[in-house]
Amino acid sequence: MKRSQYPVLRGTITSINRIDPSAGILTVWCPVCRDYHEHGWTMADSARRPSHRVAHCAGGPFHEHGYLVAPWRQSDPEAVAHVAVPGRGKR
Protein backbone atom coordinates (compact mmCIF):
# COMPACT_ATOMS: atom_id res chain seq x y z
CA MET A 1 0.00 0.00 0.00
CA LYS A 2 1.33 3.42 -0.94
CA ARG A 3 1.54 6.02 1.76
CA SER A 4 -0.89 8.20 -0.14
CA GLN A 5 -3.46 5.41 0.23
CA TYR A 6 -3.17 5.22 4.00
CA PRO A 7 -6.30 6.29 5.82
CA VAL A 8 -6.30 9.79 7.31
CA LEU A 9 -7.73 10.14 10.79
CA ARG A 10 -8.45 13.77 11.62
CA GLY A 11 -9.02 15.10 15.07
CA THR A 12 -8.62 17.83 17.61
CA ILE A 13 -5.56 19.22 19.39
CA THR A 14 -6.58 18.41 22.94
CA SER A 15 -3.55 19.72 24.78
CA ILE A 16 -0.36 21.69 24.29
CA ASN A 17 2.75 21.04 26.32
CA ARG A 18 3.16 23.81 28.91
CA ILE A 19 6.94 23.60 28.89
CA ASP A 20 7.33 23.11 25.14
CA PRO A 21 4.37 24.77 23.36
CA SER A 22 5.61 23.46 20.01
CA ALA A 23 4.40 20.00 21.06
CA GLY A 24 0.72 19.12 21.19
CA ILE A 25 -1.51 16.10 21.60
CA LEU A 26 -3.83 15.29 18.70
CA THR A 27 -6.84 13.17 19.60
CA VAL A 28 -8.38 11.32 16.65
CA TRP A 29 -11.44 9.08 16.43
CA CYS A 30 -10.63 5.56 15.26
CA PRO A 31 -13.49 3.96 13.35
CA VAL A 32 -12.01 0.49 13.84
CA CYS A 33 -11.62 0.61 17.63
CA ARG A 34 -14.59 2.97 18.03
CA ASP A 35 -12.44 4.87 20.46
CA TYR A 36 -10.06 7.83 20.56
CA HIS A 37 -6.33 7.50 19.99
CA GLU A 38 -3.90 10.17 21.17
CA HIS A 39 -0.80 11.04 19.14
CA GLY A 40 1.89 13.65 19.45
CA TRP A 41 1.58 16.56 17.02
CA THR A 42 4.10 19.26 16.14
CA MET A 43 2.12 22.49 16.38
CA ALA A 44 4.07 24.09 13.54
CA ASP A 45 2.96 21.36 11.11
CA SER A 46 0.14 22.11 8.70
CA ALA A 47 -3.24 20.37 8.96
CA ARG A 48 -2.97 20.07 5.19
CA ARG A 49 -0.09 17.64 5.53
CA PRO A 50 -1.19 14.49 7.36
CA SER A 51 1.63 12.79 9.19
CA HIS A 52 2.25 9.04 9.53
CA ARG A 53 1.78 7.27 12.86
CA VAL A 54 2.01 3.70 14.09
CA ALA A 55 -1.55 2.57 14.77
CA HIS A 56 -2.61 2.52 18.39
CA CYS A 57 -5.14 -0.16 17.50
CA ALA A 58 -4.91 -3.64 18.99
CA GLY A 59 -4.96 -5.46 15.64
CA GLY A 60 -7.34 -4.59 12.82
CA PRO A 61 -6.74 -3.21 9.32
CA PHE A 62 -4.57 -0.27 10.41
CA HIS A 63 -2.12 -2.44 12.33
CA GLU A 64 0.28 -3.31 9.49
CA HIS A 65 0.78 0.11 7.88
CA GLY A 66 -0.47 2.51 10.48
CA TYR A 67 -2.35 5.60 9.38
CA LEU A 68 -1.95 9.30 8.78
CA VAL A 69 -3.17 11.84 11.29
CA ALA A 70 -3.88 15.57 11.07
CA PRO A 71 -6.02 18.16 12.82
CA TRP A 72 -9.29 19.28 11.24
CA ARG A 73 -8.78 21.79 8.46
CA GLN A 74 -10.60 25.12 8.52
CA SER A 75 -12.69 23.84 5.62
CA ASP A 76 -13.87 20.76 7.55
CA PRO A 77 -17.33 21.18 9.07
CA GLU A 78 -16.02 19.59 12.25
CA ALA A 79 -13.48 22.39 12.69
CA VAL A 80 -16.20 24.90 13.59
CA ALA A 81 -16.83 23.25 16.94
CA HIS A 82 -13.20 23.71 17.87
CA VAL A 83 -12.80 27.39 17.12
CA ALA A 84 -12.88 29.44 20.29
CA VAL A 85 -14.45 32.86 19.88
CA PRO A 86 -12.94 35.37 22.32
CA GLY A 87 -15.46 36.61 24.83
CA ARG A 88 -17.99 33.94 24.00
CA GLY A 89 -16.64 31.10 26.06
CA LYS A 90 -18.45 29.75 29.08
CA ARG A 91 -16.62 30.16 32.35
3-state secondary structure of 82: helix
Q: Residues 20-39 vs Zn ion: string with x where CB under 5 A?
A: ----------x-xx------
CA atoms within 13 A on the CB side of 32: 15
The nearer residue to Zn ion, 25 or 57, going by C-beta atoms, is: 57
CB of 29 to Zn ion, least distance (A): 9
Q: Which of residues 36-65 bind Zn ion (CB under 5 A)?
A: 57
**Which residues contribute to the site for Zn ion (CB under 5 A)?**
30, 32-33, 57
